[in-house]
Amino acid sequence: MAGEFALIARHFTRPARRAALGVGDDCALLRVAPGHQLAVSSDMLVEGRHFLSTVAPERLGHKALAVNLSDLAACGAEPLAFTLALALPRVDDAWLAAFAQGLFALADAHDIELVGGDTTAGPLNICITVFGQVPTSASQQVPLHEWQVQQAKAQTQTQAQPQPQPQTQPQTQVQTPVQTQALLRSGAQPGDDLWVSGALGDARLALEVFRGNVALAGAAFEQVRRAMEQPQPQVALGLALRGVAHAAIDLSDGLLGDLGHVLQRSGVGAEVHVDALPRSAVLAAQPLRLQHECLLAGGDDYELLFTAAPARRADVAAAARHVGVAATRCGVITAAAGLRVVDTVGRTVATPWRGFDHFV
Ligand code: ADP
Ligand code: MG
């Protein structure tokens, strides 16, 4: 059976690529590009709280990193490196190999590398810290996104009317003393459209299946289970929305709670159009009340919720198309405080659930 250091060497040591120094010394050393800030975020996964003991180790490795990458995505930060703090009840080489495989597959897909961590005996607990970089907003011009270049080319080719391209900077850079191009929770402005990426609610539906409250089988169950166990962080979308979105957050604790954070930090309110919220065919086949619960209070979605000026609709659509992700308009930011959920005909929809809070 491997000891602590053999375990680290066998499963978690790979040569550093972008970092100046990776696993093996007292600190890792990261390079950050000139004119950039380091974006840092941690998320811990505890067995029984954040995942079920039945989850396959590959999927757990994937999810532990995915939830952290999702935070970088929400800020529009480019992934650089991460650390892994691991408490293990025992050394199980087969389990560790599978966990590492899921972890590194996602890491490679996002060009982020493991540069250090800590390993100890204890109840299964996984804590990852991610490091990313994001440009400061210091006077230099914001470089064009690849999707903006392609959009411009397409417009010249088709001789179409050019879309309005307001050159105003996001409000975040005016409201806060932070000079950054990072997407923040604090930038939402009255009149902004509310957008969400992908589809919501499948992960919560899977949880209801595991709880025995919903019966699903076959491909439908596999789809929602995958959403719960293998979320895909929207890193490319976050990057493409820099300079376009006013505010962003990733959906980890349910739309109502997470949107509440944006509203509170931005000093605004919102109206959410529940019928517009994107959902899979599997969720759409469930009773409406359950759909609403999964969409609004589900959690574990890891999609991006963001706001942008109505003048930027074409830019949001182009950014989403460029990265191959759906973006759906699902509400509006209001000057009046408060969060109202309405249906297609404007009736208020009851929302008896609260955002997820570990201590309430
Ligand atoms: P220290 O004594 O400074 O706490 P350790 O002896 O715990 O360092 O770890 C030795 C090296 O292995 C360090 O570079 C540390 O970052 C790295 N490390 C420990 N655990 C992990 C892990 N789970 N994944 C990646 N690197 C790890
Ligand atoms: Mg240590």
Give tens-digit pLDDT for 31-42. 999 999 999 999
Q: How far is the CA of 38 from the centre of ligand 2 (A)?
A: 23
Task: Inform me whether the pLDDT recorded for 140 exceeds 60.
Answer: no
Task: Inform me whether the pLDDT recorded for 207 exceeds 70.
Answer: yes
Residue nearest to atom 13 of ligand 1 (CA): 24
| Ligand (nearest to CA of 125) | 1
CA angle 230, 234, 237 (to 5 degrees): 160
Q: What is the rounded distance in angstroms from the CA atom of residue 120 to the CA atom of residue 72?
A: 27
**What pLDDT is stored for residue 39 in this prediction?**
98
Q: How far is the CA of 346 from the centre of ligand 1 (A)?
A: 55
The fraction of the chain above a pLDDT of 70, given in percent, is 90
Bin 214: left if φ > 0, else alpha if -120 < ψ < 50, else beta. Answer: beta
Pocket test for ligand 1, best of 8, 25, 120 (most atoms within 8 A of CB): 8
**What pLDDT is stored for residue 137 in this prediction?**
85
Nearest-atom index, ligand 1, CA of 85: 23
Most confidently modeled range among 153-162, 165-174, 345-354: 345-354
**What pLDDT is stored for residue 40 in this prediction?**
98
Q: How confident is the model at residue 356 (pLDDT cuts 50, 70, 90)?
A: low
Bin 254: left if φ > 0, else alpha if -120 < ψ < 50, else beta. Answer: left
**What pLDDT is stored for residue 130 in this prediction?**
98
What does the mean pLDDT of the chain come to?
92
Residue nearest to atom 11 of ligand 1 (CA): 24
Task: Inform me whether the pLDDT recorded for 104 exceeds 70.
Answer: yes
Q: Give the predicted TM-score (pTM) of the model.
A: 0.89
Q: How confident is the model at residue 170 (pLDDT cuts 50, 70, 90)?
A: very low
Of the candidates 173, 191, 193, 174, the residue with the CA atom closest to the CA atom of residue 182: 173
| Ligand (nearest to CA of 26) | 1
SS3 state at 331:
strand
**What pLDDT is stored for residue 54 in this prediction?**
84
Task: Inform me whether the pLDDT recorded for 247 exceeds 50.
Answer: yes
Within 10 A of 241 (CB to CB), how many other CB atoms are there?
Answer: 30
Q: What 8-state DSSP symbol labels residue 34?
A: T
Listed in sequence order, the residues at least 6 apart from 324 whose beta carbon sits closer than 8 Å to its beta carbon are: none
Q: Output 247 or 353, whichever has higher pLDDT.
A: 247
Q: What is the rounded distance in angstroms from the CA atom of residue 203 to the CA atom of residue 300?
A: 6
Are 84 and 42 spatial neighbours (Cβ–Cβ below 8 Å)? no
Within 10 A of 163 (CB to CB), how many other CB atoms are there?
Answer: 15
Q: How confident is the model at residue 1 (pLDDT cuts 50, 70, 90)?
A: low
Q: How confident is the model at residue 142 (pLDDT cuts 50, 70, 90)?
A: low
Instruction: Give residue-wise pLDDT tens across range 42-71.
Output: 999 999 888 888 889 999 999 999 999 999
Residue nearest to atom 20 of ligand 1 (CA): 118
Q: How far is the CA of 326 from the centre of ligand 1 (A)?
A: 39
Residue nearest to atom 3 of ligand 1 (CA): 26
Which alpha helices (H) appear in the chain, and where do they start and end?
4-11, 57-75, 93-109, 146-158, 172-175, 202-210, 218-229, 235-240, 255-266, 281-284, 288-297, 313-323
Would you give the distance in Å from CA 159 to the centre of its chain?
A: 36
Task: Inform me whether the pLDDT recorded for 251 exceeds 50.
Answer: yes
C-alpha pair distances (Å), 338 with each of 260, 305, 327: 9, 17, 24
Q: What is the rounded distance in angstroms from the CA atom of residue 352 to the CA atom of residue 209?
A: 21
**What pLDDT is stored for residue 3 in this prediction?**
86
**What pLDDT is stored for residue 141 in this prediction?**
52
Helices 146-158 and 313-323: angle between axes, nearest 10 degrees: 110
Task: Inform me whether the pLDDT recorded for 180 exceeds 60.
Answer: yes
Instruction: Please state the rounded mean pLDDT for residues 117-130.
Output: 97
Instruction: Give residue-wise pLDDT tens across range 146-161.
Output: 888 888 888 777 655 5
Are 81 and 115 spatial neighbours (Cβ–Cβ below 8 Å)? yes
Q: What DSSP element (H or E) covers 84?
A: strand 78-88
